[in-house]
Amino acid sequence: MSSFTKALRVFASKPFIRFARRSGISDAELWQAVNENFDADLGGGVYKFRLARPGEGSSGGARAIVALKAGLRVVLIFGFEKKDRPNIEIHELRAFRKAARVYFAYSEEEMTVLVRAKSLSEIARPRSVKGERDGKGV
């Protein structure tokens, strides 16, 4: 494991956590997804990742919209099922970009305060992450 991935912290909004639990996506699967290649760069530090659902794979499954500061921080902002909607709307993308700017401006200490206040959840790094590569993950 590289120091690059040791420093990475992964957070999730409350709505995203509810979505992941309803979809049966574990914390380890979330870590794996954000350590793989993204599906689309939406600009402004916002990315779309495919999420594999148990027993279904990732191509027709769920999607995660994340704020990503490479090697430092991932904030899982929004999740959706591909069967429920083909993509996000432009006004949603604008809001996600604005949220990304806010999350990127916070220090590590301020992010910890948000977790303690239960505004965000921090997803603990699993013991091993399938697909994590030295310097080539998020």
> pLDDT at position 61, please?
81
Across 54-130, where does the E strand assignment appear? 57-69, 73-81, 120-123
Distance CA 92, CA 99 (A): 10
Q: How many CB atoms lie within 10 A of CB 82?
A: 15
Give residue-wise pLDDT tens across range 44-77: 999 999 987 666 655 568 999 999 998 889 999 9
Task: State the amino acid at position 75 in one-letter form.
Answer: V
Residue 54 domain flag: yes
> pLDDT at position 57, please?
55
Residue 49 domain flag: yes
Task: Single out the residue of 30, 55, 56, 12 nearest to residue 126, CA to CA.
Answer: 30
Count the domains in the chain.
1
> pLDDT at position 54, please?
63
Residue 133 domain flag: no
What token pair was written down for 50? Answer: 């495919």
Local confidence band at 134 (pLDDT 50, 70, 90 cut-offs): very low
Helix/strand/coil for 61: strand
Helix/strand/coil for 135: coil
Q: How many CB atoms lie within 10 A of CB 26?
A: 13
Task: State the amino acid at position 124 in one-letter form.
Answer: A
Burial of residue 16, with CB atoms counted within 10 A of its CB: 0-12 exposed, 13-18 middle, 19 or more buried? buried
> pLDDT at position 37, please?
87
Residue 85 domain flag: yes
Residue 135 domain flag: no
Give residue-wise pLDDT tens across range 2-35: 334 457 899 999 999 999 999 889 999 898 888 8
> pLDDT at position 83, please?
86
Residue 136 domain flag: no
Residue 75 domain flag: yes
Q: Which residue has the higher pLDDT, 106 or 131?
A: 106
Give residue-wise pLDDT tens across range 90-127: 999 999 999 999 999 999 999 999 999 999 999 988 87
What token pair was written down for 84? Answer: 């429920």
Distance CA 133, CA 2 (A): 8
> pLDDT at position 1, please?
34
What token pair was written down for 74? Answer: 């991932």
Residue 43 domain flag: yes
Q: Which domain holds residue 12?
A: 3-123
